[in-house]
Amino acid sequence: MQSNAIRIRGLEGIPEILPGTNLVGAILAALETAGIVTRGNHEPTEQLAPIILVVAQKVVSKSEGCLVCLDSVVPSPQAQAWASEYHKDARMVEVVLQQARRVVKMDRGIMIMETHHGYVCANAGVDASNAPSGTVVLLPRDPDDSAKRIRRELEQALRRHVAVIISDTFGRPWRMGLTNVSLGVSGLSPFIDYRGQVDSYGRTLQATVLAVADELAGAAELVMGKTAGIPAAVIEGFRYTPAEGSGRELIRPAEEDLFR
């Protein structure tokens, strides 16, 4: 299913994204400047190689206006108490609590939350980095819907198959360091299912289902970086079967979670 030659390129030249910015227009301009695509192709869609676009969650959130001005936040008693104990900004703590549907762990100044989407992550995804002074950025309201909208607009403009992954940086239990994962997915399945295939020793695989959307998001981060101002990357040469796809599929159901 995969190609042996995969090319990943960061999209440079995308300007600062603000609420209301035409994010797809900025991405299209960067794709054309890089010589990756040409708008208005007249070749049959099926003859053009598909591409995968990985977009950082933060620029999607900014374009959709998912920001909170901290001066507008009134901290609850719970937020005030916890912020006082760990020397945090009570307004930031309050925003995190509002974005969470379940507190997984609050300890030693760290807040691990389950968001309304079902993600388990630090601070419920609320982040002050790369945000205007005095504001914090929230996760997109519906990352799958955002990915689908971006994909449809790109496919209409480019007349070719496009898959879109909206990525974010998460920590991992029992492992140090951070890695990028997919939040929203559109245009490809988030999995590669090897179950039923036979390994090199003749054993039938029983449980190998790779989270390929997460792998692609992590690979793209290598060329995007955190401080380089490159909020999107294009992956070429990865063979995938076009599908509607959904990032929600990657969230493990509670009844299958051994750690709840």
pLDDT at 150: 98
Among 35-44, 92-101, 154-163, where is mean pLDDT lowest? 35-44
pLDDT at res. 45: 53
pLDDT of 235:
96
pTM: 0.93
pLDDT of residue 53 exceeding 90, the answer is yes
7-65+140-253, CATH topology level: 60s Ribosomal Protein L30; Chain: A; (3.30.1330)
Cα(105)–Cα(13) distance, integer angstroms = 39
Closest among 160, 180, 150 to 250, alpha carbons compared: 180
67-92 tens-digit pLDDT: 999 999 999 999 999 999 999 999 99
- According to the model, what pLDDT value does residue 1 have? 45
CATH superfamily of 67-137: CofE-like domain (3.90.1660.10)
Q: What is the pLDDT of residues 98-123, one digit of tens each?
A: 999 999 999 999 999 999 999 999 99
Residue 160 scores a pLDDT above 70: yes
Q: How confident is the model at residue 167, as a pLDDT?
A: 98
Domain(s) labelled CATH 3.90.1660.10 in the chain stretch across 67-137
* Residue reference for tokens 């920590």: 171
Residue 149 sits at the vertex; the CA angle it makes with 148 and 154, to the nearest 5 degrees, is 100
Phi-psi category of residue 170: left, alpha or beta, with phi > 0 → left and psi -120 to 50 → alpha: beta
**Tens digit of pLDDT for each residue in 208-251?**
899 999 999 999 999 998 778 899 999 999 988 889 999 999 99
Location of each CATH 3.30.1330.100 domain in the chain: 7-65+140-253
Asked if pLDDT for residue 197 goes beyond 80, the answer is yes
218: left (phi over 0), alpha (psi -120 to 50) or beta: alpha
